[in-house]
A and B are shown apart, each in its own frame.
Chain A
Amino acid sequence: MSHHQLDARRILCPMPVIRTQNKVQGLAAGDTLEVICTDPGALHDIPAWCRIHGHHVLESRQQGHEWIITVQVGASAN
C-alpha cells in the first residue's frame, strides 16, 4: 500500500476528477491518494466519483484557498 499526491490546483471541474480518475487507474486497492485542489467544485465531484466507483474519501480539509481530499482506492478498482 502506498501513498500518492496529485496537484489539481488551478484547474476547474471536471478536470480534477479526470486527473483523479486517471491517476487511480494506475494504483492498487488500498493505496491512498491526496488530491490538492483550488476549485471547490471538486469537494462535490471527487466524492461523487468515488462513490460510484467504490473508492473511499478518507478526509477532506481546507487549507487557505486550497482543499485537500484523501482518497483510498477500493477493492473493485476502476
Chain B
Amino acid sequence: MSTPRKAVALISGGLDSMLAAKTLLAQGIHVEGINFFTGFCVEGHTHAIRKKDQEKPKRNNALWVAEQIGIKLHIVDVVDEYKDVLLNPKHGYGSNMNPCLDCKGFMVKKAYEWMLAHSFDFIITGEVIGQRPMSQRKDTMPVVARESGALDRLLRPLCAKLLPPTLPEREGWVDRERLHDFSGRTRKPQMALAAQFGITEYSQPAGGCCFLTDVSYSKKLVDLWTGRGTREYDFDDLMLLKVGRHLRPRPHFKLIVGREEGENRFMEGYRHQFMHFQTVSCPGPLVLADGGALSDDDVLLAAGLVARFSQGRDAAQVDVQVTDTLGVSRTLTVTPRPAEQIPAEWYV
C-alpha cells in the first residue's frame, strides 16, 4: 500500500475514542481527530471559572489525547447548529436533557462532511455496543450510520467484530481480525487494551461527555426556557448556567449569585447585559437579574436576597447598589431576607 488510507476519528477525550484511534494507528492508517464543541461540553468551563479550580492543573482532554497518541486534532464550533439537535431530537432525550442518539448522528454527520471535504476515506468512533443505554446499543448502531449519511464508511474499531463488515474492512484497508469485540458496560477489555498500548493515564468521565446528562444543569436549562416562555438560548445563557447559585423568586426573573471571586469576576463580563446588584456597605457577591422588566417590588425583593447572600446577612440593614442595563445606579437600604423566607423551591 503506497499511500496510507486516512481516517477521521471522533475524539471525545475519554479512553474509548483514544483506543479506537490507537487501534487504527497500529494498522498503519493515517488518523486525524475531530472534536465538536456544542457549548455543553464538560471541558474546562466551570473549572476555569471557579478560583479554587484555577489552581489545579487543567487541560482539554481531547487535545491531551491527541498529543498522547500523536495525531492532529481539529476542534469544530457547532454551538449554533447544535440547537436544533437539542431542541428537536427525533429520538427523544435520555434520563436528562441529553439527546444522545440524535447527538451521535449529528456528530458523525459533521465528521462525514469533514471527511469528504478533506479527502479522507472513513470515520471511526470509540462506540461500544451496550456501553450506553440510549445511544450505544446494537440496534442504534445502524441508525447512526444511516442518519449521518456515513453508512459503511463508519467503523467502530472497539466492537467491529460484532457488527457487519464495513467498507474499510471489506476493501482490506483495515484488518478486521485485529479489531475488537467489546460489548457491555464492563471497562475491563478497554483497560487491558490500554495496558497493551502502554497507556497508563486517561480520563474517565463518569456521566458522559456533556452537561446535558447532569440533573442540576438540565433543571436549570428547563427553568430558563420556562421562565422565558420559549426554548431559545444563546451561548451566553449556556455559560451562565454553569456559574453561580440560581434562584427564581418570581416566574419572570431569576437571580444568578456569584459564589466566589472567580465566578464574580467572570460574571462581571455580563454586567452590561443584565440588571445587577452589589452590596456596598459590606462585601458581597455580584448578582445578575435575568428576566423581563423588574417592578419596584421585584427590585426590593431581589435586594433583600442579595443582602442575605452578603457578609452583612446578620446586620439590621445593608446598602445594595442596583444598576440597570443602561448603567444607571441607585442605592437601596434593605433588611437581609431571613433564611426561612427563602423557600426551597426558589433554588433552581
- Contact between A39 and B44 (Cβ–Cβ < 8 Å)? yes
The CA of A15 and the CA of B72, in the complex, are separated in Å by 17
The reply on A53 being an interface residue by CB < 8 A is yes
- Contact between B75 and A14 (Cβ–Cβ < 8 Å)? yes
The CA of A67 and the CA of B74, in the complex, are separated in Å by 23
Tell which of B57-65, B301-309, B336-344 binds the partner: B57-65
CB-nearest residue of chain B to A54 = B72
Q: Which of A17-41 contact B (CB under 8 A)?
A: 17-18, 21, 39-41
The CA of A45 and the CA of B61, in the complex, are separated in Å by 9
Nearest chain B CB to A50 CB, angstrom units: 10
The one of A40, A48, A65 in contact with B63, judged by C-beta atoms closer than 8 angstroms, is: A48
- Contact between B75 and A44 (Cβ–Cβ < 8 Å)? no
Which residues in A have their C-beta under 8 angstroms from that of B48? Answer: 12-13, 39-41
Q: How many of chain A's residues have a CB under 8 angstroms from any CB in B?
A: 19
- Contact between A12 and B67 (Cβ–Cβ < 8 Å)? no
The one of B47, B49, B73, B76 in contact with A52, judged by C-beta atoms closer than 8 angstroms, is: B73
- Contact between A12 and B44 (Cβ–Cβ < 8 Å)? yes
With A45-B60, A49-B63 known as contacts, the answer to whether A14 contacts B44 (CB < 8 A) is yes
- Contact between B265 and A17 (Cβ–Cβ < 8 Å)? no
The reply on A10 being an interface residue by CB < 8 A is yes
- Contact between A41 and B37 (Cβ–Cβ < 8 Å)? no
The reply on A3 being an interface residue by CB < 8 A is no
- Contact between B67 and A41 (Cβ–Cβ < 8 Å)? no
Q: Which of B232-249 contact A (CB under 8 A)?
A: 239
Which residues in A have their C-beta under 8 angstroms from that of B75? Answer: 14, 17-18, 21, 49
- Interface bits A52-72 vs B (CB < 8 Å: 1, else 0): 110000000000010000000
The CA of A44 and the CA of B58, in the complex, are separated in Å by 7
Output the residue of A15, A18, A52 with the most chain B CB within 10 A.
A52
The reply on B191 being an interface residue by CB < 8 A is no
- Contact between A14 and B265 (Cβ–Cβ < 8 Å)? no
The reply on A51 being an interface residue by CB < 8 A is yes
Which residues in A have their C-beta under 8 angstroms from that of B71? Answer: 52
The CA of A44 and the CA of B239, in the complex, are separated in Å by 20
- Contact between A45 and B239 (Cβ–Cβ < 8 Å)? no
Nearest chain B CB to A60 CB, angstrom units: 15
The CA of A48 and the CA of B45, in the complex, are separated in Å by 17
- Interface bits B70-84 vs A (CB < 8 Å: 1, else 0): 111111110000000
Output the residue of A18, A41, A51, A65 with the most chain B CB within 10 A.
A41
The one of A10, A41, A51, A65 in contact with B60, judged by C-beta atoms closer than 8 angstroms, is: A41
Which residues in B have their C-beta under 8 angstroms from that of A17? Answer: 60, 63, 75
The CA of A52 and the CA of B60, in the complex, are separated in Å by 13
The reply on B54 being an interface residue by CB < 8 A is yes
Q: Which residues of B contact A (CB under 8 A)?
A: 35, 37, 41, 43-45, 47-49, 54, 57-60, 62-64, 66-67, 70-77, 239, 265, 269
Q: Which residues of A contact B (CB under 8 A)?
A: 10, 12-15, 17-18, 21, 39-41, 44-45, 48-49, 51-53, 65
